[in-house]
Amino acid sequence: MKLKTLFSAAAVALLAACSDGPTEVQIPTYTPLPAGTPIVTTASGLQYAEVTLGTGTLAVAGSHVAVHYTGWLANGTGFDTSAGLQPLPLTLGAHDVILGFEEGILGMKVGGKRRLFVPAALGYGATAVYDQNAKLIIPSNSDLIFDVELVAVQ
């Protein structure tokens, strides 16, 4: 139960991290990957595609990183983005965000971009996520998609 609480808190933190008051940020429209794009499947079930290979510092467990991201439900409905805002800072291995998001950043290099396909079990699982106005943002048991750009590693 503690993990579910942690992930619920991380969901709110992830969704709120790029919120700076009442300013509305336009979430980019979901665009499918080109046909034939290679998809990697990890042992946990996370899938990802390398969109752009980075050339900078490698993100490893314990790294303090900053990322830009956009998140969609599996049906293409956008739910959050850092576009036009400050990158999201997090420490890999500290479980600041959902497991699939964190795992998807491991092994990236600064400047790299990945598309992550996060199964519900590595996302929020059976926990639904609501915004500060009690509006449903992420239904329970939702598979998620994120575009992630690694901006910095320390």
- Is residue 101 annotated as part of the catalytic site, yes or no? no
Sign of torsion over alpha carbons 31, 36, 37, 39: positive
- The CATH number given to whatever domain includes residue 90 is 3.10.50.40
Domain count, the chain: 1
Q: List the catalytic residue out of 96, 124, 137, 147.
A: 124
Q: List the catalytic residue out of 98, 105, 137, 145.
A: 98
- Is residue 124 annotated as part of the catalytic site, yes or no? yes
Q: List the catalytic residue out of 48, 79, 101, 117.
A: 79
138 contacts 98 by C-beta, under 8 angstroms: no
pLDDT value, residue 23: 56
pLDDT value, residue 25: 78
For 120, the 3-state DSSP assignment is helix
| Cβ count within 10 A of residue 11 | 21
pLDDT value, residue 85: 96
For 3, the 3-state DSSP assignment is helix
Q: Identify the domain containing residue 74 by its residue range.
A: 2-153
Q: List the catalytic residue out of 7, 69, 101, 117.
A: 69
Nearest to 111 by CA among 71, 51, 63: 51
- Is residue 48 annotated as part of the catalytic site, yes or no? no
Name the phi and psi angles at 50, rounded to 5: -80, 120
- Is residue 96 annotated as part of the catalytic site, yes or no? no
Each of the 154 residues of the chain gets a pLDDT tens digit; together they read 323 333 443 444 444 444 444 457 799 999 999 999 999 999 999 999 999 999 999 999 999 999 999 999 999 999 999 999 999 999 999 999 999 999 999 999 999 999 999 999 999 999 999 999 999 999 999 999 999 999 999 9
| Interatomic CA distance for residues 122 and 141, integer angstroms | 10
- Is residue 117 annotated as part of the catalytic site, yes or no? no
pLDDT value, residue 10: 43
The beta strands (E) that lie in the chain are given as: 40-41, 47-52, 64-73, 78-81, 88-91, 113-118, 129-130, 136-138, 144-153
- Is residue 80 annotated as part of the catalytic site, yes or no? yes
Q: 150 has which bridge partners?
A: 67
